Amino acid sequence: MRTNFFAFLLIISAFSFAISAQTQAKLDAKIPVTEKSSSRFFPLSEVREGMRGTARTVFRGSAFEEFNVEILGGRRSSKKKKHDLIIGRLSGGGADRTAVFAGMSGSPVYIDGRLVGAISYSFPFSKEPICGITPIEQIISIFEQKAGSKSTANEPRAFSFAELAATSWKPGFPNSSMIQSSILATGNPSLGVVAGQMFQPIATPVSFSGFAQETLNLFAPQLMQVGLLPVSSVGGASAIAPMKKASDTTLQGGSSVSFQLTRGDYSLAASGTVTFRDGEKIYAFGHPFLNLGTSDLPMSESHVVIVIPSLNNSFKLAVPDAMVGSMTQDRQTGVFGTLGQAPKMIPVKLNMVTSRGQTETLNYEVVKDDFLTPLLLSITVYNTIISHERALGESTINISGEIKFKNGEPVKIDRRFNGMSASQLAAASVAIPTSALFKSRFDTEIDGVELNLTSVDGSKAAGLERITLDRAEVKAGESFEVQAFARTESGKVFAQKIPVKIPADTPAGTLLVTVGDCATLQQISASKQFVPKNLAELVKTINEIKKEDRLYVQTYRVTNGAIIGAKELPNLPPSVLATLNSDRTAGGMKPTIMTVLTEQEIPPAEFIISGQQVLTIEVVR
């Protein structure tokens, strides 16, 4: 009887074990990656000085290699900051040749087969391959919080007319959250980075494919300020291929990963290393890319051509391969991507007619991002010009085109620049309105950008020398003629006649007649800034901004008026002015004493004319 009972228990146990094994096998089949359990992680609390482990990264090709890591200690931060660092020393394998290099960010570190964290920080100019390791718990925890969609402010922001009419532009990168160690030997903390006494995030190499060296030289200082290392890459243009379906071997821990900023005839890609894959989730870098927060950048497999050792900063030369998903988060302790999710890109078509009559068309995509899109457009436009024209000497460049939206009127671009900096000014003329659109806090759905560039050798500039009027008095409702004389750099003088009509309801009195360029007229304008109510109003205002390559004629008179929003209200009755200037109200308006009666744009001449001249004319009844 007892024998039968134990035999029955044995049968039940075996059956239960078989069911459990089948259930676990089904669960395992749903997870295509072996790195799936928290038991794979080595807790920070158990990390001790003297422990030894291994790390993975790609030194060449697409297969990762292992090397050794010795734990030297750790740096604890406050509970609120939640950014601890484990300090380690690298040795063995390819690390003996390269030490810590740009592009190693995210390389996973294992102790006893469990994941500790990602190699992400280094000491500049260190004689030994010392690194900082971001613990894996802190990499994952920041992304496990509910991310949500990218939020925007409810209220639109104010724009200055000078900002929209500017000819120069600098990228407004987000404040980088690159954590610096407080470990300082001596001296001024601000000099710690230069002295190599502070932990710095390992630089992120950004490969430029299809770009001239002059472009890298111009934009490198701006990129390096935020931890990006511009690298001239191999290869040229590549077709914009559809997204590749990820497999079980796609972007495993230690694999090289690239985040493409532009694709097509121009390729810019930031490269690093995958720390951990959990199903469709990809964790990489171990430090911020640009700390963009919610993002949408193409995530691609990549292969490493070579890691170039350098006394200054070793770096890997990586080439992006097939796109497999998108980077959706860029935070304090790393970046996060999702396999199988396609990013939204902005298509760009650029037509270039050179000074030799040659025509070239470039097609590429840029990422949609508040900070990156204007910069990428500026870089690609500038490169297109200098790649086809001389780098030294004066030139005249015409740029026209549209920034198109899914709904609504496009932003129209129509500018002309000359001189030694014409190429930079032309590039800025695209970045400025694009930056304004993204900063507006409106829902900006850019559908595409199409630009036309024409370049001519030499500078066609002239200065406004004098103006004359064909009469001293004019009746309301009648016209008079302004004649403007301009002198070129060679001394040649040419004249242009401009008819001006006075409104019929203009009261008698003295009018000021001003002929000037965009910059000088904006300086004397009473209207300095405005707050658009919606995207359509912002686009309309951008399209009406005065252009730098032509003259304008304005007639003014001394009167009592006000500016409300972007609108100028002249000749206001005393009762209205009293209401606006009441002691019970403040703000919302700006009083004016000079009111513009008429304004007209003079069609562009052969030369770009600058300067300002003023005369008076009497309006009689």
User: Pick the residue with more confidence: 565 or 282?
Assistant: 282
The pairs formed by 60-63 with CB atoms below 8 angstroms and a separation of 24 or more are: 60/304, 60/305, 60/306, 60/307, 61/303, 61/304, 62/255, 62/256, 62/301, 62/302, 62/303, 62/304, 62/321
Query: How far lies 72's CA from each of 21, 45, 451, 484, 510, in Å?
Result: 42, 15, 55, 76, 83
Query: How far lies 54's CA from each of 35, 89, 110, in Å?
Result: 16, 11, 5
Q: Take residue 262 and report the two structure tokens written for it.
A: 């532009």
CB 258 within 8 A of CB 284: no
| pLDDT cut 70: percent of the chain above it | 79
Q: What is the mean pLDDT of the chain?
A: 82
User: Average pLDDT of 470-487?
Assistant: 93
Tens digits of residue pLDDT in 213-248: 899 988 988 888 888 889 887 666 667 888 999 999
Which residue, 535, 543, 531, is CA-closest to 588?
531
CA distance linking residue 181 with residue 595, whole number of Å: 58
Return the residue matching tokens 């359990």: 37
Tens digits of residue pLDDT in 315-370: 999 999 999 999 999 998 999 999 999 999 999 999 999 988 899 999 999 999 98
- Note the Cα 439 to chain centre separation in Å: 12
Query: Residue 41 pLDDT > 80, yes or no?
Result: yes
| Domain range summary for the chain, segments of one domain joined by + | 31-144+169-175+194-343, 346-457, 461-620
Q: Take residue 316 and report the two structure tokens written for it.
A: 């890997």
Classify burial at 289, counting beta carbons within 10 Å of its beta carbon; exposed 0-12, middle 13-18, buried 19 or more: buried
pLDDT of residue 506: 86
User: Average pLDDT of 194-221?
Assistant: 84
Classify burial at 154, counting beta carbons within 10 Å of its beta carbon; exposed 0-12, middle 13-18, buried 19 or more: exposed
pLDDT of residue 390: 78
Query: Residue 25 pLDDT > 50, yes or no?
Result: no
| β-strand pairing of 608-610 with 493-501 | unpaired
Q: At what angle do helices 422-439 and 372-388 cross, to 10 degrees?
A: 160
pLDDT of residue 205: 93
| pLDDT cut 90: percent of the chain above it | 51
Tens digits of residue pLDDT in 99-138: 999 999 999 999 999 999 999 999 877 888 999 999 999 9
User: Average pLDDT of 587-597?
Assistant: 63
pLDDT of residue 87: 94
Query: Residue 461 pLDDT > 50, yes or no?
Result: yes
pLDDT of residue 32: 41
Strands (DSSP E) found in 470-535: 473-475, 479-488, 493-501, 509-516, 529-530
